[in-house]
Amino acid sequence: MKRFEGKVALITGASRGIGRGIALCLAAEGADIVVNYRSHGDEAQEVAGRIRQMGGRSLVYRADVAERGAVAEMFSQAVEHFDRIDIAVANAGINIPGSVLEAEWESTLRVFQVSQFGTYHTAQMAARQMVKQAERGHHGGKIILVGSIHEALAVPGSAAYNMAKAAVGHLARTMALELAPYHINVNVVAPGRIDTPSTRGLLKWELPEDANRHIPWGRMGTPEEIGKAVAYLASDDADYIAGATLVIDGGFSINLDLRVGDSDIWGKEI
């Protein structure tokens, strides 16, 4: 039997990159999927098509996670469509590089609104729905927040994103304590450099091999590898894991040869 047969998962930012990888991994194991997106609607529909090909159901929903009301309405529509939410993955995020000295406040605020506040909105709405389900006798639920190795690494030129991801980690630990009585697990996956359109847009290096030189594993990770980690944390196998952060970076963050101090490794806004 597939691990998520009969379960419903909502994933934010699921049209491409890490979110897409997560959606397809969960769908491959039987989950029905709410595919959230803000832009790239055609790609969101393509993800939904792939889910249907696997025999699953999908709901494509456009919402900017920075807008609290839009997130609340998305959950309302998802529950109306599927009757429940068993797994929620707060994946949507944005990084607009810039030094603290030079960063425009509008760009900094946008990073907070999406990567920090958007994660909070998603996690809170998911928790409220799962508690309602628990009160109706259906205990349990899995909330996974997509953090980053930036939670612990002070990457120059990325202060707002660093702050946002540090906050995401502490949010997960706090929620894990508060939701334990309802058997709702809250955990974090912290990717390193993952080969996505966003990563390629941020890194100025022309060749992937250049981006790999500080990764002990010798390559960037894939969205599918993050998806498999999320699938583990969303499964019954992870029932006794709460408030944990699973780092998935090929050894990047523990590499003593790490040199990311040059702010010119970052490119334009994505």
Annotated catalytic residues are 148, 161, 165
Q: Which amino acid is at 33?
A: I
What Å distances lie between residue 34 and 81, 130, 160, CA to CA?
10, 15, 28
Q: Are 208 and 195 in contact (CB under 8 A)?
A: yes
The angle at the Cα of 44, spanning 39 to 48, to the nearest 5 degrees, equals 165
* Separation of first and last alpha carbons in the chain: 40
C-beta of residue 141 within 8 angstroms of C-beta of residue 84: no
182 φ/ψ angles, rounded to the nearest 5 degrees: -95, 5
Closest CA relative to residue 22, chosen from 88, 110, 116, 86: 88
Burial class (CB in 10 A: 0-12, 13-18, 19+), 268: exposed
Q: How far is CA 180 from CA 134, 187, 226, 243, in A?
A: 12, 12, 25, 10
**Backbone phi, psi, residue 148, to 5°:** -170, 155
